[in-house]
Structure 1
Amino acid sequence: MPQPAPLTLPDAASAEAWIQERTRATLADVRAAAESLTSTAQDPAGVDALGVLRAWDDAMLALGSLAGMASLLANVHPLEAVRTTCEDTEAAVDRLRTELSQDAELYAVFAGLPTAETERLDPLAARFLAKTLQDFRRAGVDRDEATRARLAQINERLTELDQEFARVIRDDVRTVRVEPERLAGMPADWLEAHPAGDDGLVTVTTDYPDALPARMFVHDADVRHRVTVASLERGWPHNEPVLREMFALRHELATLVGYPDWASYDAEVKMIGSGEAIPAFIDKIAAAAEAPMKRDLDVLLTRYRQDVPGAAAITAADSLYYEELVRKEQLDVDSQLVRTYFDFPKVRQGLLDVTGRLFGVDYEPVTDAQTWHEDVAVYDVVRGEGEARRRLGRIYLDLHPREGKYKHAAQFDLATGVKDKQLAEGVLVCNFSRGLMEHDHVVTLFHEFGHLVHHVLGGQGEWARFSGVATEWDFVEAPSQMLEEWAWDADVLRTFATNAEGEPIPVELVERMRAADDFGKGYLARTQMFYAAVSYWFHTERPEDLTARMVELQAAYSPWPYLEDTHFFAAFNHLGGYTSAYYTYMWSLVIAKDLFSAFNADDLFDPEIAGRYRDTILARGGEKDAADLVADFLGRPFTFEAYAAWLAS
């Protein structure tokens, strides 16, 4: 059978009409498929259970691929009209999903499949049936007509609110205007790329390539404070009422389908299992991080007091700057020296070389593919030799900031991969410098690429439902967090991290960088638990005054005192996608540390270990529960020990 061809994207001029037509046709096809399935209930004795399940999976493949494409272009396309059209498509997809998931006749098709037929299903088909029945139940298919109608209203409004929340964050780029001399300490290449305007002032934006170096390197405390506050204020005040309504509607949805609150509803389909287990996990991590946090905060505060005698605490506006001073003065790591080894073009190629070697794939540049912006680089992911060589998928790298683009770092699905039906296509969306990069951003690039390779390698199976990153959501980050380890290994880095003279980064410097990175991991963990607590308690309590509750949670968990008149939650985009489950980053990190313990520290490319990891974890997608995938690779259930030992060290 010939391999499926990649998606052909439209040019800018025809994009809006192309999306509208694709949306119309896909929604019509999916409706027709659903109607065809309901007709099978008229003759249950002759039903082919596997055929029914395959037909439903194909319909969901079409709908999911349309949604993925729309979500991507809504966040990256340079034309506002196209972004708006894609948001309309997302809303239309969600409406149809809600309609179908509440269709009692359609549900009856799956619930009424002949027992003799379902008992003969292979394990993956049986898993698909169980997941499908669960989807219907969680959508409220068994509720009365009035309740189903209200659920449909809630889902539609939640889509609108989520889009509004994300749009405001995406478009709210704030600026700080300062005299050039007040930017002393900034890297020379940054200053060269940011000349003063006609009024003699330099513009510093809240985009990552501006805000992060400003907070790390600028000597002027007032400038650091202004940039930090501007970053924390994005989305405010618009997004507070948006969030309050979002939390209320999620709670109502959960209670209408029989759950005590949103977190309980959301956690049912995650590894953690129950909503009440979330605060227990948060407190477990917070307790484990307490001693390391205090140890490193004492060091940080002591250094801060050299410049600010008698200071009782250090705030987030100064933390990165003094963290850099501690690393430079006490741990002998100068981040400005480090960044001279990480020139973006070399880092990007190094990433491809490293992951290609690790996972046994090649990346072939595609120069004639239509994209949404000239910055986007395209590669086919290929594996095998000779006649066995085949294309596994296609990846798009959109890695620099621009107006109207998503402001963080994420992987987006463009097309879900299914064997012999559809090629896996994914997109990496980031906001990195075009020149020298902070090593932190190199680590982020490796992390996000981990999602991309998971999407492609896991997109070779026969069921769309289990394709790619289709595991429980609190496992999704683990493979990407583990891939970060390759961005810290000296032998790996020396293959691409070279300075202007072509000299590879010294091994001793990488060793000091690793030691310096360990500094502050306790208070970083506590910061993450602050974010996780906001995510959980905002949904569970639904406070009227989000700022007041945020301040309480910050005092309980965060190492940094509250900065007056700031409202970080208004731009905390994870309250959209991750909802009450931001804890998942740390839950995944616990697993990632355990996964990495199985690798050979002296040879991170050991083909036996790397191949087994690729085939038992990444390539399986969601074909098994995540705990079982991990146990298949480790030969045992995952434990907390590797993470606890790392945190305490």
Structure 2
Amino acid sequence: MDSRLADVLMLGELLREVHPEKSVREAASYCVQAAAANATAVSLNRPLFDAFHSLSKGQRRALRASAVPPIDPSARGRDVVVSHDAVRYVRKTLEAFARSGVGIVPEEQEAAFFARIRELQDRITALSQQYDTALAEDRRGVWLLVPGAAASNATPPAAAASAPGPPSLAPKDALPLSGTVSVEGLPADFVAARLRSVPAASLAEAVAAHTGLTDSAPAAGDSKEAPAVVPLPGPLAAVPPAGAPPVTVLEISTDYPDAGPATKYAIDRRLRAAVSLQSARRGFPQNQATLASLLAARAELSRTIAEAKAKAGVVAPGRTGSPLDADQCSPAGLSLQSMMAKEPAAVRTLLDRVLAIARGPGERERLALERMLRQDPAQQTSPGEANPALPDGLRSFDLGILMERVRRSAFNVSSDRTRAFFTYALARRGVITTAARLFGLRFAVVAAPSLGAPDDTGIGGKARDRALDACLNPDFAKSLTVCERPVITPLDESAVAVEASAVPDAHRWHPSVEVIDVYTVADGSDETEDDDGQEPFSSAPAHTANRGAYIGRLYLDAFPRKDKYKHMAMFPVRPGLMRWQEPSEEGRRRRQLRAAAEEQQGGAAGAAAAARRGLASSRTTSRVGASALARAMSRRSRVGSGGDGSEVVLEQHPEAALVCNFEPEGPMEHSDVVTLFHEFGHALHHLLGGRHQRFTAFSGASTETDFVEVPSQLNEAFAWDAAVLASFAARKRTDEEMLAEGAGAPQVEVIPGDLVDRMRAADAAGRALGAWRQAYLSAISLRLHAGEFAFSPDAEPKAAPANAARRMVSPTDGKDGQQSLEPSGDGGGPPSGPPSGQSTCPPLPETKTPLDAAVNLIADETSPLPPMPGSHLASNFAHLVGYGSNYYSYTWSDVIVKDMLGPFEAAKAASASAEAQPANATGAESPADGQQGKDVDPDAGSLLSARNAAHRYRRDVLEVAGRLDGDEMVSAFLGRDFEYGAYEAWLGEGMGAAWLGEPGQDASAPGEAAAPEAADKTPAS
């Protein structure tokens, strides 16, 4: 059941965001709501709760009588009920039921209670989708009037020779800017690709739409004052006369590939401010009411459940006898109990600690940047153009250009120089090759037919489309089976080693989508050593290549298009799942012979073999046993030889989609390379974490939300390693360079190691300010969900089906709106005894607070920079819907990642030290040139040398997925709890940089902090 719901939810959420046809997107949206409604019904199902309750009792009896420990994945027969996964699944399911009040509320009250819970869940899901849809469909931008025929003074003649295309923005969404606004600083290729020919009437319509632009919502509370006029930077006032010919404009949209470079490179502050303003107003005003209603519904849900539990005497650990407080009754308190943090107080401690670390250094960085802004005449508004949209102080839209100048002047690193070494094609190859080398993987492109007739549109082709169509059936709630997507035919024991024909060709939802299959190394082992010289990435047909065990499938939807998801994300498409069955008699005989042989080995070899079988001695999942469990799970996949009688039969391979918005051609920012590595880390987690899963609830990235960013953020570290970058980052040298060096000069330059070193040093600049801002955004996420404010539920969901419900994969998902409360008593049911303490929640504030007022209050107390006039963060902060109170997860995960990188960095340092040792350490002469000396490790001194750490990380974290808690995985990998030391050291790396100046003194002016090095005088191609 979990698998069927997950299939529908995952596929539906993907197609809702990426499919080119609106009808399919709408159908997928409804399908997600219908499946979520069924998931809610499951989470409130009393007979199902009773069955799990009874099973829990049986497990405890079996554990007391059985010699098989619960962490043994190889349990047989009756004992499989007490395997680690089964015990964990039952416990997590009962916790999910308890979160919903099942088994807590007296049975005679359950009908009314569940009806109210279901109503609130329906409302939350519908409002969440309404917010996301409004944001996805709100595409804005600017039209900058280009004086002259077809180009500005910053656009080279080559760009002007290309005829401008039609605009992609509607006039009402395009803020028109005066021709006096300069495009200086923008890359020439960026400008040339965005010239548009706009009819004069459309330009006049745009001017009219933005003249006297106001915020349509009152500024505060119940104020009846007229909305203030939004200040516009550099507006176009003169309208072309009627009948005038089309005019040429530079169109910059709020899409990621447009807005990012515009705010980073444009020297004219008015242009940066205009693009930022349009981005900061997306979703306004409709999402103001939607989010306020969503927050109110979440608050009512959490208070309803908290009061029901308090009346039944069920309280969180350590709270016995205490009255309900605001945290227990808040959406944050409800959600965080299933996280590593457990309660809002732990998040506040995290944010207070990060602010204490970052505020001092961040203030130094802010003051230095503000001095740079004041000292730069190009950033000062002329007296005749004074405008509230361009305040004197530092604003967020100034950070990109100023930090770029810091990188140039203080570290001799320019984006023009670095971006020449990267394209999407190179970065794609680099991230795949790195994963192959470190984690022992193979990747192969799958032949994917182009989109054909309409009935063949969509992922998986006609069969999967029929499954999606089935979700629209009115009887869907009564027949979940019709929505089960076709899966790979279950493999018998003789075919577990996947042959070429076992995996069908892939269908795509758009012709630009690339499909890649992922395998283990060719010999079928799970080791990460890659010494066979084979190419880890191949364009050969996936199912004719001789590769190892099949893992799963990856879809790359890399390029922007209309009506597609606007940011970067990994979407799970299908969870990985195993089916277990009893071994054959021959299998039992072989296993007994193998066990006897291992026992005869004795010593370390025998112990290692026992660990691989998961035969740990502990009866509970301890931190000591966690690593043994992870090893056991890793080795259990080795059933691919066939005929060994293993009880594991692969039923469904995991699939994931990377949805990005990179430019298909041309230079690529290194920050985009880092983003690609980040999302690829999520994909590896989903694919590798789906290999050994008996339960869908534990498959892939099904960990606590505040741990789920660990694999992605750790994978970012490889995008900063010199050897990793040198394996793929290169540029074609110019003819001038070739002529200057003469015959034999190389045509391609690999990114220099000293440039990477300077990039790493430059990355530390502004780091404290960035951590400060992350803490500010986390404070918004937490405080809006912590009972501090009351919001008016004014908005009603639009066209929400009657059975809509919130997004939830299964009762054990542990994501948005869920908590983790250990069942009391015998594993479920109302506890005996009267309730303790106060059973009603403290009242919410009587005054309803407008969202903008709440966000501005938090900004005044926490933000390093004031908000931009006319901006509405709450209308376009999508994480408030998806993450709820848990945006802090990025910072929490970052603390863990910096600690977990320790073994990788130690291996890197050790390999560099070993490589530096002379080959003749015994006193023998060094071999002459050309003679045999010691082997040279090409990966020495890089993270690529940390293959043992990478293998342990894959085994103890990526492949474990949801089978252990986050803190248990950290302990298995590090041998201890995570600590803050590495994070604090990382945050303070840039504090000695010259561009900051001495504390309390002026920093050096731009361009004076460091002399450019000769190594970087080569112009970018």
Q: Does the aligned pair in 1 maintain the 2:723–2:942 contact within 8 Å? A: no
Could you tell me how far apart the structure 1 residues matched to 2:418 and 2:857 are? 38
Alpha-carbon offset, residue 280 of structure 1: 2.5
Cα deviation for residue 422 of structure 1 reads 0.8
User: 2:744 maps to what in 1?
Assistant: none
CA shift, 1:342, in A, is 0.8
Q: Superposed, which structure 2 residues align to 1:381-400 within 5 Å?
A: 381-386=518-523, 389-400=548-559
Paired with 1:252 and 1:154, the residues of 2 have a C-alpha distance of: 8
2:342 is equivalent to residue 269 of structure 1 = no
Whole-Å separation in 2 of the counterparts to 1:286 and 1:114: 44
Residue pair 1:416, 1:422 contacting (<8 A) in 2 also = yes
Q: Which runs of 5+ in 1 are unaligned?
A: 1-58
Q: Which residue of 1 aligns with 2:697?
A: 465
Give distance in 1, aligned partners of 2:93 and 2:56.
16
Tell me if the contact between 1:595 and 1:634 (Cα under 8 Å) persists in the aligned partners: yes
Q: How does 1:361-380 map to 2 (within 5 A)?
A: 361-368=441-448, 369-380=506-517
2:144 aligned with 1:178, yes or no? yes
**Mapped partners of 1:113, 1:381: distance in 2:** 37
Q: Show the counterpart of 2:887.
A: 582
| Residue 568 of structure 2 is aligned to residue 409 of structure 1 | yes
| Deviations 1:186-243, CA, capped at 9 Å, x for gaps | 1122122222324211110001110010001111111110001111111111101100
Written as runs of structure 1 = structure 2, the 5 A alignment for 1:41-56 is none
Q: SS of 2:422's equivalent?
A: coil
**What letter is aligned with 1:227?**
V
State the partner residue of 1:127. Answer: 88
Residue aligning to 2:760: 514
Q: CA deviation at 1:355?
A: 1.2
TM-score w.r.t. length of structure 1: 0.89
Native 8 Å contact 1:360 1:383 kept in 2:
yes
User: Conserved in 2, the CA contact under 8 Å of 1:265 and 1:275?
Assistant: no
Q: Secondary structure of the equivalent of 2:551?
A: strand
CA contact (8 A) 1:377 1:398 kept: yes
Residue ranges of structure 2 left out of the alignment (5+ in a row): 64-81, 147-151, 153-181, 198-245, 307-327, 382-390, 449-505, 526-547, 579-649, 734-747, 792-848, 909-940, 990-1021
1:294 matches 2:360: no
Q: Distance in 1 between matches of 2:101 and 2:23?
A: 35
1:183 offset after TM fit, Å? Answer: 1.6
Match of 2:423 among 315, 318, 343: 343
Of 598-607 and 218-227, deviating more is: 598-607
Deviates more, 1:82-91 or 1:379-388: 379-388
1:76-475 matches, cutoff 5 A:
76-113=18-55, 115-118=57-60, 119-120=62-63, 121-141=82-102, 142-143=104-105, 144-180=110-146, 181=152, 182-197=182-197, 198-258=246-306, 259-307=328-376, 313-368=393-448, 369-386=506-523, 389-419=548-578, 420-434=650-664, 435-461=666-692, 462-475=694-707
Structure 1 residue 87 displacement after superposition = 0.7
Query: Which residue does 1:592 correspond to in 2?
Result: 897
Specify the SS of the correspondent of 1:183. Answer: coil
Q: What does the per-residue CA deviation read over 1:90-109, in whole Å, with 9 as the maximum and x for residues that have no partner?
A: 11111111111111111111
Residues 11-30 of structure 1 mapped to structure 2, 5 A cutoff: none
Query: What corresponds to 2:709 in structure 1?
Result: 477
Matched, 1:634 2:939: no
Pairwise CA distance, 1:387: 6.7
Letter in 2 for 1:188: A
Q: Does 74-83 or 312-321 show the bigger shift? A: 312-321
Deviation at 1:466? Answer: 1.0
Deviation at 1:292, TM superposition (A): 1.6
Change (3 A) 1:131 1:248: same
Matched-pair contact (CA < 8 Å) for 1:478–1:588: yes
Question: What do the CA deviations read for 1:119-160 (whole angstroms, capped 9, x no partner)?
Answer: 341122101110010111112223332121011011111111
| CA apart distance, 1:244 | 0.5
Residues 94 and 155 of structure 1 are in contact (CA less than 8 Å); yes or no, is this contact kept in structure 2? no
The 2-side partners of 1:322 and 1:482 are apart by 28
Kindly provide the amino acid, as one letter, of the partner of residue 525 in structure 1. Answer: A
The residue identity in structure 1 corresponding to 2:343 is S
Moved more, 244-253 or 499-508: 499-508
- Do the aligned residues in 2 keep the contact of 1:352 with 1:363 (CA within 8 Å)? yes
Check 1:204–1:422 CA distance in 2 against 1; reply closer, same or farther (3 A cut).
Answer: same
Take 1:585 and 1:317, find their aligned partners in 2: how far apart are those partners?
22
1:602-621, aligned counterparts within 5 Å? 602-605=941-944, 606-621=946-961
1:526 to 768, 772, 788: 772
Q: 1:570 aligns with which of 868, 875, 880?
A: 875
1:109 is paired with a residue whose SS is helix
Could you list the per-position Cα deviations for residues 494-546 of structure 1 after superposition, in whole angstroms to 9, with x for gaps in the alignment? 11111123211111111111111110011101111111111111122245211
| Structure 1 residue 465 displacement after superposition | 1.6
Q: Please tell me the root mean square deviation across aligned C-alpha atoms, in Å.
A: 1.5
Determine the C-alpha separation between the residues in 1 that align with 2:37 and 2:86: 27
What is the deviation of 1:433?
1.6
User: Structure 1 residue 554: deviation in Å?
Assistant: 1.6
CA distance in 2, matches of 1:292, 1:83: 46
8 Å CA contact 1:401, 1:431 repeated in 2:
yes
Per the TM alignment, residue 255 of structure 1 is displaced from its structure 2 partner at its CA by: 1.3
Moved more, 433-442 or 627-636: 433-442
Q: Does the residue aligned with 1:553 lie in a helix, a strand or coil?
A: helix
1:422-475 deviation digits (Å, cap 9, x = unpaired):
110000111112232111111011001100010000001122221111111100
Kept after mapping to 2: 8 A contact 1:171/1:403: no
Letter in 1 for 2:976: R
Q: Secondary structure at 1:622's aligned position in 2?
A: helix
Q: What letter matches 2:22 in structure 1?
A: E
- One-letter identity of the residue aligned with 1:426: A
Amino acid at match of 1:449: F
Instruction: Read off the aligned partner of 1:90 and give its amino acid letter.
Output: V
Letter in 2 for 1:72: L
CA contact (8 A) 2:521 2:549 kept: yes
Counterpart of 1:421 in 2: which secondary structure?
A: strand
User: Match for 1:531: what amino acid?
Assistant: L
C-alpha distance in 1, partners of 2:441/2:985? 34
* 2:191 and 2:250 in contact (8 A); partners too: no
Q: Say whether the 8 Å CA contact 2:721–2:942 is kept in structure 1.
A: no
Residues 264 and 276, structure 1, Cα contact 8 Å, conserved in 2: no
SS at match of 1:580: coil
Q: CA deviation at 1:385?
A: 2.2
Cα displacement (A) at 1:603: 3.5
Q: Structure 1 or 2: larger helix share?
A: 1
Letter in 2 for 1:373: H
CA contact (8 A) 2:896 2:979 kept: yes
Task: Give 1:283 deviation, angstroms.
Answer: 1.7
Residue 350 of structure 1 deviates from its aligned partner by 1.2
AA matched with 1:401: P
CA distance in 2, matches of 1:185, 1:104: 64
Q: Percent identity?
A: 36
Q: Please report the TM-score for the alignment, with normalisation by the length of structure 2.
A: 0.57
CA distance in 1, matches of 2:353, 2:976: 23
Does residue 550 of structure 1 match 2:855?
Answer: yes
